[in-house]
Structure 1
Amino acid sequence: MRMILGASTKKHVEKINQLGYTAMVSFNTLEFRKSPISSHTIWIDSGSFTRLSSHKPLATPEKLIRVAQINNTEIVFTPDAMCEPQIIEKTGLDVDEHIRITHENNKYMLEVAEKVNFPTEKIGLVVQGWTVKDYIKSANLCKTIIKNPNQIVGIGTLCRRHSFSEIGEIVDTVKSILPQARIHAFGVKGPALAYIKSKIYSADSFAWAFHRFGDFRYQKICQKTDCKTKCNNCTIAIEIWINSLIKTINGF
């Protein structure tokens, strides 16, 4: 399983690369940049959760692919409509409509990529849902448009679930419909990630960069009492957190 680590600055990307991992950068960080954030290969997240949480429109496939072309991009994900109850409440739409929006964006993302000669194998498609039945519907829609049998397919709305078996069942369900796809688990953490690591190709976490240390972003996890740097902006904190995460995954 590949671990993809969230990053928001060139310094973060380079530290993550130095540690032997690949960085994922949000579209929201890259949107207005006119030059690459780093020379290193990155994955690009669509930033959809943040955008829908703050009542902003989803990024368009055109903008996402433009940003991907500027950067040294391995994978760029489709703008998806996640299905957590708090997001459903914000949009005022139902789960079926979120699945439809995600599917239409998957389809259009591939069309735009072909139009501008961007490799479709670099497009990360997304399946969404809340119940297993929802994921069956979303995965079957995805199956109708998938370009490459081993396409990256991200499973959304997993990261806030607390049941290992529920997460495992969703992953197994999607894999049964898309058996050759390289499955990416968005935001699954710690022991839950350890539980599904043999079932997936990759997973990501932005947790260290946001609230990994609760609201106490000056917690001094490096134990330097005179440190003036926020833990969520510190390359030492990145390394400490990555080591802790990998230990948790491998020790399960």
Structure 2
Amino acid sequence: MRFLLGTHRPHWLGLLDVPLFVSDRTLRRYKTLPVASCDWACDSGGFSQLSRCGTWACGPSPREYAARIRRYRDEIGRLLWAAPQDHMCEDTILARTGLDVAQHQELTINNYLQLRSLDSELPFIPVLQGQTIEDYHRCADRYEQRGVDLAVAPVVGVGSICRRQHTAEVEGVVRSLAQRGYRLHAFGAKTLGLARYADNIVSSDSLAWSFAARWEPPLAECRGHRRCNNCVKFALRWRQKILRTIGTSGNDMTTAA
């Protein structure tokens, strides 16, 4: 399993040799982009977008977003894939948009297809959204009905899981979808969850180190900041601890299943 370290600091792309996960919301502000020294994937920042606005209408259009992903691919390099402008299905987001799970799934699928139609060479991945196991399978079926063969996709994202408190629920979703032959990326999966189902996914990402560092004193060797929530030393040390816990190198895209 490949583990993508989340970061709010895009310049890390040119500093580190571990896979990173960076949001378009942070990259879009940069006039001069770093040249990647590591593989990385790009998040659309959908949760923040919908939390604030309740819609993508006040964010980048699909054409604008595709243009930015093209720029990142060409100027930064080493882009593994990019998430679509999806609609996650947490209750807080549903309340913000006023829509239901089925509508969020349809909007997510429509956006993926639109991005692919704008430029089929860009590495956008399909993302499955839902709440229950049945929801996720209905979402997968809808992709298939629209002509998207998820079983041959290099990566299929599983969304709406990072804020769940019940690891067993997420494990059930992941293992069930893996049985369909999908190469899954678990967005923001918790460490305890990864220890249980890492063999059923090809990759995951996490920014949890930054949140944890807000409540801890800085590392003994750190100077110049009161907290390590944007500290590369803290992030890399946390990453190694997580990889030891789940028993992976963090760089492999294969599954044990």
Distance apart, 1:147 and its partner CA: 5.9
Gaps of 5+ in 2: 249-257
Distance apart, 1:23 and its partner CA: 1.0
Number of the residue aligned with 2:251? none
Distance apart, 1:182 and its partner CA: 1.9
Number of the residue aligned with 2:247? 250
Distance 1:66 1:42, change over 3 A: farther
1:205-224 to structure 2, matched below 5 A, reads 205-209=206-210, 211-213=211-213, 215-216=214-215, 219-220=217-218, 222-224=219-221
Which of 98, 110, 114 is the matching residue for 2:116? Answer: 110
Which of 145, 148, 155 is the matching residue for 1:146? Answer: 148
Once residues 222 and 194 of structure 2 are traced to their aligned partners in structure 1, the CA distance between those partners, rounded to angstroms, is 32
Query: What is the one-letter code of the residue matched to 1:61?
Result: P
**Normalising to structure 1: TM-score of the pair?**
0.85
Identity %: 27
Distance apart, 1:35 and its partner CA: 3.5
Once residues 62 and 145 of structure 1 are traced to their aligned partners in structure 2, the CA distance between those partners, rounded to angstroms, is 22
Once residues 145 and 27 of structure 1 are traced to their aligned partners in structure 2, the CA distance between those partners, rounded to angstroms, is 28
Query: What is the one-letter code of the residue matched to 1:219?
Result: P
Once residues 155 and 67 of structure 1 are traced to their aligned partners in structure 2, the CA distance between those partners, rounded to angstroms, is 23
**Normalising to structure 2: TM-score of the pair?**
0.83
Distance apart, 1:151 and its partner CA: 2.7
Distance 1:25 1:154, change over 3 A: same
1:161-206 CA distance string (max 9 Å, x none): 23333112211232334x1x32100000211111110000100012
Number of the residue aligned with 2:178? 175
Query: What is the one-letter code of the residue matched to 2:200?
Result: K
Once residues 70 and 55 of structure 2 are traced to their aligned partners in structure 1, the CA distance between those partners, rounded to angstroms, is 22
1:45-85 CA distance string (max 9 Å, x none): 01000111111643433233222222222211111111111
Which of 164, 169, 179 is the matching residue for 1:161? Answer: 164
Residue 229 of structure 2 aligns to a residue whose secondary structure is: helix
CA contact (8 A) 1:107 1:145 kept: no
Distance 1:190 1:176, change over 3 A: same
Query: What is the one-letter code of the residue matched to 1:97?
Result: Q
Residue 126 of structure 2 aligns to a residue whose secondary structure is: strand
1:23 aligns with 2:20: yes
Q: Which has the higher mean CA deviation after the structures are superposed, 226-235 or 41-50? A: 226-235
Gaps of 5+ in 1: none
CA contact (8 A) 2:86 2:111 kept: yes
Residue 153 of structure 2 aligns to a residue whose secondary structure is: coil
